[in-house]
Amino acid sequence: MYPRAEKRFIRTNRLTIIVLFLVIAAGGIVRSTGSGMGCPDWPKCFNRIVPPTHVSQLPTGYEQHYVEGRAKKNQRFARIVEFFGYPEMADQIRHDKSILQHEEFNAAKTWTEYINRLVGVAAGFCLLFSAVFSLTYLKTKPSIVGWSVLNVFAVAVQAWLGSIVVSTNLMPWIITVHMLLALFIVAISIYTFYSATTLRNKSILVNQRFVFLKLLAFFALLLTVVQVVFGTEVRELIDHLNDQGVARQDWIARVGSPYIVHRTLAYISLGLTVLLFFLVKNKFSSLTLQSKYAWIILLLVGIQMMSGIILARFNVPAAAQTTHLVVASLFFGAQYYLMLLMTKLKR
């Protein structure tokens, strides 16, 4: 059904999507274990391609060297933020001394962060190969080429933003932008995969226009993005409470309104997912992709709710934090693909 070159792109694109979710999972592990500053420089780690395993292998005077390097990078970043019209944020970056605090060497954290970077590099190469292989669609579907090339630039920005996350010592709002950009990259890869597979296989598209279903799926997807923003804000507040020495069992109670909004939206998201599930099951055969993805998002929202309850009731365990983040990204991807599958077949 598919020419050889198109099969190659589809396989590479599918692999890219899997690796992108692995990147998000690795980032979740880094965040939950507090390993974000395990490597104080970027892209190398302690100025080494292979990071050290013992304090004796560290460069002499590395603390001051990397603090000075981060200070210079932060000044450049502050000018960019100010250029885009956020002088207060720029001023915070320039004068917040806490972002220049040195963290003691920990081999486990260093290697956790290093593996996260390796997975990120793998994702970058996958996106690059996807862009190269997408050239086969230059005449038949040029939008695939355009989005694939855009994704390479997006991942380059993501890599640069990752270096800013390090240089600012995990400044909260930058981490939120970092996460949202990751979802944007995932969405582009899912869209190009969808476009490539439906170019020759029209059977997975619908035969009539389901405007309400598509709007409902879009609204549910938008709600998930808002959920991610509030979720990262809750996590940032928890990190702040942890730095202040607040006991773990008091974290949820001290977070306040962001957690209440996040929890409320979670129940709304659950209701929308259940509604969408039954509407899709009523309209589509159980053998269709639409029906299968309706089951997938129902399962994912169940796991997501369960992990959220565990976080709230059992003092925010690290494993549940990672699960919550990874399932949220998978849920976003499945929702987005289901929304695309609601597109009517053009005759």
> How confident is the model over 186-233, as pLDDT tens digits?
999 999 999 999 888 777 777 667 788 889 999 999 999 999 989 888
Angle between helix axes 257-283 and 211-243 (nearest 10 degrees) is 150
Q: Which residues of 277-303 are buried (b: 16+ CB within 10 A; e: fewer)?
A: bebbeebbeeebbbbebbebbbbbbeb
Quick check: pTM over 0.85? yes
- For the CA atoms of 176, 178, 182, 187, the dihedral, rounded to the nearest 10 degrees, stands at 60
Question: Is CATH 1.20.120 what the domain over 205-347 is classified as, yes or no?
Answer: yes
Q: How is residue 329 written in tokens?
A: 């990204």
pLDDT band, very low/low/confident/very high, at 99 (cuts 50, 70, 90)? low
Q: What is the mean pLDDT of the chain?
A: 86
> How confident is the model over 277-293, as pLDDT tens digits?
999 998 888 888 889 99
Please name the amino acid found at residue 335: Q
Q: Is the previous residue joined to 43 through a cis bond, with omega within 30 degrees of 0?
A: yes
| Residues in Cβ contact with 256 at an 8 Å cutoff, skipping those fewer than 6 apart | 237
Mean pLDDT over residues 163-176, rounded? Answer: 71
> How confident is the model over 22-41, as pLDDT tens digits?
999 988 888 778 777 778 77
Break the chain into its structural domains and give their ranges: 1-200, 205-347
DSSP assignments along 104-155, one per residue? ---HHHHHHHHHHHHHHHHHHHHHHHHHHHGGGGTTT-HHHHHHHHHHHHHH
Number of helices (H), then strands (E), belonging to the chain: the values are 11, 0
pLDDT band, very low/low/confident/very high, at 296 (cuts 50, 70, 90)? very high
Comparing 236 with 147, the larger pLDDT belongs to: 147
Neighbours of 225 (CB within 10 A): 14
